[in-house]
Amino acid sequence: MKMRDVITISTDKRETLVDITEQVKRIVKSSDIRDGIVTLYAQGATAAIMIQENWDESVQTDVVNFLRKIIPQGVWLHDEQDGNGDAHLKAGLVGPSETIPVIDGQLGLSTWQNIFLCEFDGPRSQRHIVCTVIRD
């Protein structure tokens, strides 16, 4: 058995990490699946999914700053088309998806782990994350 839903959010910055953990928890709960996996997939070539700490915003800020340092804006061939070559590279490096175990009806995340949509080419009025819950 499986269940699929789509999380739709808007972003307000060019580069940001948006916590989507609560939305994913709601989908897992409504699936009535006790044990299995949940997969998350960010639709769009300039967005990604990351599991990271959410104790304070410094980690998310550090992630954005680190990626800015290793993949700067404005120096890529693709920038000649639409000015977002760095966003494509960042999204490709982080990756569009994550898989998380579902254990006893709960996300199998540790205490400090949360799920983030990584926006690298915002702001966007709509970003879609496909969430699929699959029973063991």
pLDDT at 129: 98
Mean pLDDT of the chain: 97
Residue 14 CB: number of other CB atoms within 10 A? 17
101 Cβ partners below 8 Å, 6+ apart?
36, 37, 107, 108
- Token pair of 106 as six digits: 């709960």
Cβ atoms of 6 and 130 within 8 Å: the answer is: yes
d(CA 77, CA 83): 9
Which amino acid does the sequence have at 78? H
Number of domains in the chain: 1
List pLDDT tens digits, range 70-125. 999 999 999 899 999 999 999 999 999 999 999 999 999 999 999 999 999 999 99
CATH of the domain at 75: 2.60.120.460
